[in-house]
Each structure stands twice: as C-alpha cells, then as structure tokens.
Amino acid sequence: MITTTSNSPDGNFASDVRVISLVGLAHGVSHFYHLILAALFVWLKPAFNLSYAELGLLMTVFFVISGVGQALAGFVVDRFGARAVLCSGIFLLGLSALALAHAQSYTALMLGAMLAGTGNSVFHPADYTILNQRVSPARVAYGFSMHGISGNIGWALAPLFMTYVASHYDWRIALQCAAVLPFFVLLVLFLNRHAIRPEPVKKAAPGQLASGEGTLDFLRLPAVWMCFAFFFITAIALGGIQSFASVALVKLYNMSLPLATSAYTAYMLASAVGMAAGGVVGARSKQPDRNVAIAFSAAAILAVLLALAAVPAWAAVVLMGAIGLTSGVAGPSRDLMIRAAAPKNATGRVYGVVYSGLDSGLAVGPLLFGALMDGDHPALVFVFIGVFQALAIATAVGVGGKTRAVALQKA
C-alpha cells in the first residue's frame, strides 16, 4: 500500500484542502487542453481543408505522445520529485497553444499537438504522487474525487470557452486566450510551492538504477496491466464522446450544433457531480472494483439507448447527462483500485504506466469514431461507446480479484 507523510490518520484539514485544490487546479488545465483542438474542429476543417479522419489524427498524435511520455514521466517523478515535473508540463501546455495559434499548415498543427501531448504527459504521475504524499489517508478518496471533478470541469469549459471566442473573434485568438491559463496556474503553484513540496528522494544503491533491479519490479504485477487495460478500453469510449459525440448528435437527432455542444457539457458537468458522489461511495466501500462495474453497466445501457434515436432531441441531452453521471461515480473508486494495486514507493511509476492506457485509448478512439463519422454512421458512435464501457467491467473485476488475492496471501 502507498503511504503518506501525514502525522495522524486525520492529518491537517487546511493543509489537505490546500494540496487538493492546487493539484485539482493543475489537473483542470490539463483536461482543458485535451479539447482545445477538438473544440475548434468546426473552424479547422474548412481552414485547412481537412477530413474528419485527419482531424481525429491530430487528437491521436496528441494522446500517443502523451501516453508514451506519461509512462516515462512516472520514473522521472519518482526520481526527481513531482513538483518540478508538474510545473514543466504546465509550461509546455502554454507554449503549445501559442504554437497552434500561429500554425499555417496541417504539419504545423501536428507539431503543436505533439508539443501539447508532451506537456500533458506529466499530470497523472505527478498529481497522484503529490496527493498520496501530502494528503492524509482519511481524505485521500475525497482528494481523488476532487481531482476527477477538476478534470471534468476542464473538459466541460474547454468547448464553451473555445467555441465562444472563436465564434465572436477567431479560432487563432481562441488559442491565444487559452495560452494565458497555464501561465497563470504556474504563478499560483509557485506562490504555494511549499505545500506541494516533494518528499526527499531516496538514493538508490550503487548499480541499482543501471541494472533496473527493483525499479521495474512493479511491471510483473498482473493487476497493474489489468489497470492499464481498464483505462485503455474506457478511454476509447471517452475519445468518441470527446471528439465526435456532438457531431454525431447533430446528424442522429437533427439538432443544432449549440444544443449538441450543450449535451456534451451536460455529460461533463454531470460526470463531475457523479465524481463528488463517487468520493463518498469510494470512502465507504472496501471493494472499489464492484462500484466501477455497477456504474459502467448503467453507462453502457444508456449509451446504447442513445444510439437508438428513439427519444426527442431534448431527451438526448438528458441521456448524455445520465451517461456522464454514472461514469463519474466510478472515478474515485477507479483511482482507489489503482492505489490498492500499487506497491510501496512506486507511486509515480504505477500511475504513469497505468494512465498511459488512458492516453493510448484516447489516441485510438478519435481514429475509430472519426472513421465511423466519415462513413455516416452516427448511431454506431454511441453503440461502440456502450460496447467499450461494457468490456471495461471485466478488467475492473479482474483487478479487484487480483488485489484481494495478494492481500490474503500477505495476511
């Protein structure tokens, strides 16, 4: 199990709130940047004469770079501390928005997406290391809950902010405005740097890092790879929702783009509410994998129902919100599931590798769902979202079973 540096089970409430708020603020910026390109697809498509598949490839490149970088960033976090790594990622996000704002070709957009993916790669290993080190055990589930909520708020705000500025001014100005956010957050983190200070790095024995002995032992754990599979599968579904749910709703329900964008916003905001409830559920439950299974079963059924187009447009917005709510409830239990599977002193590495599954799935999702939209199959977008959510249930149950088996062996 992962330990924290708190002096008591209850820890210091004010300190916990401060750390959770700072990490949540940074995480919200990360998720905001997931969608600064997807929110501008309507403008980028004619500006650069792109297909949906080419637009989806931009998202794929972003998440491929982020996924590979995330697995590596976990090792850097464990070696040099989470604070410096987190700040470097935030800086790169701001730089990427400026690069994208001045892009004159599809190649330049691709390079900007790569830079943004590099910046995005650090957040999960750095964030979860700080939360596990600086938040008391009694409140860590609530910390995970707020971490997820802040991410969803970033996802919800990005389309609203980017489309508003692009509609009233220009898509390049929208990206320039987006660049202000990470630099502001960097200032906030600098002023509160003591609160998120890293634990002293323990020196490895001579030759240990060179030989890899001990450093990679966590990769032998089946539960770690089941967690990776869980994130990969669920992220494919999430990639479809983020990139093409709004466009699919327009075609499937003949609704306006603003209403379809509102449906996506309803999904993200309801997901945030679900995560708040999920924090309470996770804190009171000893079997987080079962919480995840129940929540994703409901989400999968709702997604398939949405694909049937058997309800009016306003009800489709409600269904999107319901999918977000049920998915959100699973969030804190998901992170507790990983925490239980992680060996001591490997926080950054485990979260880096496991969450690279999230980026890998988000890289595959836009390609798959972009192809479905190019083939004019909007209903299949939601069918496949439901299928992937259902497949994730098996991996969650598998992680819980492996973790409990290991706990019984140590008992």
**Amino acid (1-letter code) at residue 10:** D
CB of 57 within 8 A of CB of 44? Answer: no
**pLDDT above 60 for 201:** no
> Worst-scoring range by mean pLDDT, 70-84, 121-135, 190-204?
190-204
Tell me the C-alpha distance between 311 and 318, whole Å: 10
Q: What is the DSSP letter of 51?
A: -
**pLDDT > 90 in the chain, percent:** 31
Tell me the C-alpha distance between 272 and 400, whole Å: 24
Amino acid 234: pLDDT: 87
Contacts of 245 (CB under 8 A, 6+ apart): 260, 263, 264, 267, 320, 381, 382, 385
Note whether residue 1 is domain-resident. Answer: no
Amino acid 162: pLDDT: 93
Amino acid 380: pLDDT: 92
End-to-end CA distance of the chain: 13
Amino acid 8: pLDDT: 37
Q: Pick the residue with more confidence: 23 or 370?
A: 23
Domain count, the chain: 1
Dihedral angle sign, alpha carbons of residues 18, 19, 24, 27: positive
The per-residue pLDDT for range 4-30, each reduced to its tens digit, is 444 334 558 888 899 999 999 999 999
**pLDDT > 70 in the chain, percent:** 89
Average pLDDT over residues 302-315: 91
The 10 Å Cβ neighbour count of residue 381 is: 26
**pLDDT above 80 for 411:** no
Amino acid 334: pLDDT: 78
The per-residue pLDDT for range 210-269, each reduced to its tens digit, is 334 456 777 777 778 888 888 899 889 888 887 788 889 999 998 888 888 889 888 888
**pLDDT above 60 for 73:** yes
Q: Pick the residue with more confidence: 387 or 213?
A: 387
CATH number for the domain harbouring residue 173? 1.20.1250.20
Which bin fits 11, alpha (ψ -120 to 50), beta or left (φ > 0)? left
Q: Pick the residue with more confidence: 147 or 198?
A: 147
Note whether residue 2 is domain-resident. Answer: no
Note whether residue 202 is domain-resident. Answer: no
Of the segments 95-99, 164-168, 195-199, 266-270, which one has the largest average pLDDT value? 95-99
Amino acid 408: pLDDT: 55
CA distances from 225 to 96, 351, 354, 369 (A): 31, 11, 7, 25
Tell me the C-alpha distance between 159 and 150, whole Å: 15
pLDDT bracket for residue 344 (50, 70, 90):
low
> Worst-scoring range by mean pLDDT, 64-73, 174-183, 378-387?
64-73
Note whether residue 6 is domain-resident. Answer: no
For tokens 């060996």, what's the residue? 343
Q: Pick the residue with more confidence: 358 or 318?
A: 318
Nearest to 135 by CA among 222, 12, 285, 317: 12
Amino acid 277: pLDDT: 86
pLDDT bracket for residue 151 (50, 70, 90):
confident
Q: Pick the residue with more confidence: 342 or 28?
A: 28
Report the mean per-residue pLDDT for the chain.
83
Note whether residue 212 is domain-resident. Answer: no
Nearest to 320 by CA among 249, 368, 263, 359: 263
Amino acid 2: pLDDT: 40
**pLDDT above 80 for 1:** no
**pLDDT above 70 for 278:** yes
**Amino acid (1-letter code) at residue 46:** P
Amino acid 6: pLDDT: 44
**pLDDT above 50 for 399:** yes
**pLDDT above 80 for 409:** no
Average pLDDT over residues 331-356: 74
The per-residue pLDDT for range 30-55, each reduced to its tens digit, is 999 988 998 898 899 899 998 878 88
Note whether residue 126 is domain-resident. Answer: yes
Amino acid 152: pLDDT: 79
**pLDDT above 90 for 90:** yes
Note whether residue 114 is domain-resident. Answer: yes
- Residue 57 burial (CB < 10 Å; 0-12/13-18/19+)? buried
- Residue 365 burial (CB < 10 Å; 0-12/13-18/19+)? buried
Amino acid 28: pLDDT: 93
Q: Pick the residue with more confidence: 164 or 225?
A: 164
Domain residue limits at 318 = 16-194+217-410
Note whether residue 384 is domain-resident. Answer: yes
CB of 129 within 8 A of CB of 351? Answer: yes
**Amino acid (1-letter code) at residue 155:** W
Tell me the chain's radius of gyration from C-alpha atoms. 20
